Structures are given as structure tokens and as C-alpha cells.
Amino acid sequence: MSNDSLELEGGCYCGAVRYRFHGKSQAAYFCHCEQCRKITGTAHASNMQVKPSDVQWLCGENSVSTFDCPSERYFSNAFCSKCGSGLPFLSKSRQWMFVPIGSLDNAPDDLISMNIFWDDRANWYDDGLTQKKCPGFPDEE
């Protein structure tokens, strides 16, 4: 895991919302829990845990929608109200911010340090990783 202080920018797909992160990653992981799979619509969430004061909105903060999960395990979610992309969100305690790593413009190679809720991972995940790797769309045959 990277121990360096990072200076990164990110935003949503449509560009309405932009933010800057300047600080250290407290932890960065793939979360395979059921809630993260539902909320991202894919195999796992990819989140970096940071101090809220290390994230600054550059533009579009009023386009950030939030959803607070009633369950205890998951905290909440934030997304662009125009394009639906995941964006940094505060924990219920407001102690931490979780930055969806895919929303960053770039990130260091060694950012991810663990897979959490590994035993809850999708039953189709391990097999999927072993399948054919295509550099782009599959060839039309």
C-alpha cells in the first residue's frame, strides 16, 4: 500500500462534478459484500478511505445526490444526479470519507491493499477472472 501523501483529482463520467484529494489513503480495498455489489451493480466496490477534510469539491457539489442505507454495515452512497457515477461519500459517523477509486482520474499501482468481505464475494467472481482476456470488445466471429 502506498504510504505517500497523494495528490489526485477525480470526478463523475459526465464531468458535472469534480473533486481533489490531497492526503494519505488510510486503507484502500475491494469490498465484496452484498451491499457493495448491489450499490455498484458489479462484482465489488473499490474504495479508498480518507479523512473528509482531505477532499475538496472543485465543481458541481450541488449535483451530488446521497443515499443513506438503513443497514448498519453499509454507510451511504453518493452519485452524480446527472450521470449516476459514484462519488466520494461520508460515513454515517462523518469520521471518514470513502472515495470510489474508479472515479479518480489516476491512482498509484499499489493503492489497493486488501479484499474485504472476501467470503461474501459473488459465486461467479472467481470463475469470471479465469475467462478469456480481450484487449477490447470481443472479436466478431
Q: Which residues bind Zn ion (CB under 5 A)?
A: 12, 14, 16, 31, 33, 36, 80, 82-83
Q: Residues 61, 88: contact at Cβ < 8 Å? A: no
Least distance in angstroms from the C-beta of 52 to Zn ion = 19
Q: Which residues of 112-123 are buried (b: 16+ CB within 10 A; e: fewer)?
A: beeebbeeebee
23, 40, 71 from 16: Cα distances, Å: 23, 20, 30
Nearer to Zn ion, 33 or 101 (CB): 33
Nearer to Zn ion, 123 or 131 (CB): 123
Nearer to Zn ion, 5 or 115 (CB): 115
Hey, what amino acid is at 14? C
Least distance in angstroms from the C-beta of 37 to Zn ion = 8
Nearer to Zn ion, 21 or 74 (CB): 74
Return all residues near 34 (Cβ < 8 A) that are at least 6 apart. 120
Least distance in angstroms from the C-beta of 92 to Zn ion = 14
Least distance in angstroms from the C-beta of 22 to Zn ion = 22
